Amino acid sequence: MNITQSGKSCNAYLKSQYQHSGNHLLNKKFDTGRSSITISRATGARGRSIAYMLADHLNKNKKPSHCKWTVFYKDLISNVLKKNNLPEDLEKFMPEEKVSEFVNTVEELLGLHPSLWELQHKTNKSILNLARLGNVIIVGRGGNLITRKINNVINIRFIGSINDRINRVVSCYNMSRDNAKSHIKKEDKKRADYIKQNFDTDINDPLNYDLTINTDKFSDNKVVNLISQVV
């Protein structure tokens, strides 16, 4: 699924849910009875592609009265900015990585953007509300840690050997093996730093997840079937 299609799916989900749920989202006891999924992934472990396959699979088996399963990935930030009437240019200040406090402070003082703490808070709140609505798959952004006190959420971590992940990145991005290895190391560090900075925990701590899957061992279809059974 491309970014445009994904964005349309997210907007359709939000429109449908807020029409039916309205102010109930403000009620902490509000419960749709639907499950949600968060996905944390090592770079090259197929987390994003499996997320979209999983949504398609779950939609084939959902109850007619339920909204479609929808993946929220990079378009999550665009929706947060739009919902809060913030400029789309702010998206570049919200990467899924550790941000320099010095740079953030200088840019905030110069009035270049709201504080990253404020932007992070808005993102976390949106993730929390989406998870409570159900039938969403949230990729990255510490979704498992934001939603850990919600009973309807299943938190999944995808891992894989460095060799298999290199092969995946080489195939997807047409990189050399050396560049793929460097890319994986850089991206994994960014995500680990983001989780440490914002949640003060280790991204690899198994207790932060309900299910950890080594994608070396299973095809995409087998992973999808396994998760759908858990759901």
Q: What pLDDT was estimated at residue 111?
A: 53
Could you report how far apart the first and last alpha carbons of the chain are, in Å?
22
pLDDT by residue, tens only, the chain of 231 residues: 554 555 556 555 555 554 444 444 444 455 567 889 999 999 999 998 999 999 999 998 777 766 888 888 876 666 665 665 555 555 554 555 555 554 455 455 445 555 566 777 777 888 888 888 888 999 988 999 999 888 889 999 999 999 999 999 999 899 999 999 999 999 999 899 889 988 999 999 999 999 999 999 999 999 999 999 998
Edge to edge, the sheet with strand 136-139 lists 70-72, 136-139, 36-41, 153-159, 211-214
Whole-angstrom distance, CA of residue 93 vs CA of residue 108:
11
Whole-model pTM: value is 0.74
**What top-level class would CATH report for the domain 3-11+33-230?**
alpha beta
Look at the chain and count its residues: 231
CA dihedral 138→181→213→154, nearest 10 degrees, is -20
**48, 73 Cβ separation under 8 angstroms:** yes
Q: Phi and psi for 205 in degrees, rounded to 5?
A: -65, 115
SS in 3 state form for the chain?
CCHHHHHHHHHHHHHHHHHHHHHHHHCCCCCCCCCEEEEEECCCCCHHHHHHHHHHHHHHCCCCCCCCCEEECCHHHHHHHHHCCCCHHHHHHCCCCCCCHHHHHHHHHCCCCCCHHHHHHHHHHHHHHHHHHCCEEEECCCHHHHCCCCCCEEEEEEECCHHHHHHHHHHHHCCCHHHHHHHHHHHHHHHHHHHHHHHCCCCCCHHHCCEEEECCCCCHHHHHHHHHHHC
**220, 158 Cβ separation under 8 angstroms:** no
Q: At what angle do helices 162-173 and 177-199 cross, to 10 degrees?
A: 110
Do the bridges between strand 70-72 and strand 36-41 make them parallel or antiparallel, or are there none, so unpaired?
A: unpaired
